[in-house]
Amino acid sequence: LTLAFPGDGGNYGYTNSGYSVYEEENDRLTESLRTKVSAIKSLSIEIGTEVKNQNKMLSEMENDFESTGGLLGATMSRLRTLSRGSQTKLLCYMMLFSLFVFFVIYWVIKLR
């Protein structure tokens, strides 16, 4: 380190070799920082794009669930209507089916 005097060219107390070493180190560190910032920027842009796509997909799923919920609700109301309906019709159909099965079994046994 040398001291500068007003008439020696204005190197302000730094030798050329010492100053250039620090300047080169600063340039190298600046370039490294620039590379890291660029990588973080591209990564954050990709994350933002992915978040937008995921939000769009979630919105579509929400719409699908709402429509399915409506369909299920309509089906449940139809089932309630059927269950409140006439039980005599259902009982009649069951009796007819039972008689049919009985006659089929009787016919099979009779043919033996």
10 falls within a domain: no
Domain containing 81 equals 18-85
- The model's confidence at residue 2, banded by pLDDT at 50, 70 and 90, is very low
Answer yes or no: is pLDDT of 3 > 50: no
30 falls within a domain: yes
Lowest mean pLDDT among 29-33, 36-40, 67-71, 81-85: 81-85
51 falls within a domain: yes
62 falls within a domain: yes
Question: What's the per-residue H, E or C state across the chain?
Answer: CCCCCCCCCCCCCCCHHHHHHHHHHHHHHHHHHHHHHHHHHHHHHHHHHHHHHHHHHHHHHHHHHHHHHHHHHHHHHHHHHHHHCCHHHHHHHHHHHHHHHHHHHHHHHHHC
Give the residue from 99, 80, 82 showing the smallest Cα distance to 90. Answer: 82
- In the chain, the number of structural domains is 1
pLDDT tens, residue by residue, 19-64:
788 899 999 999 999 999 999 999 999 999 999 999 999 999 998 8
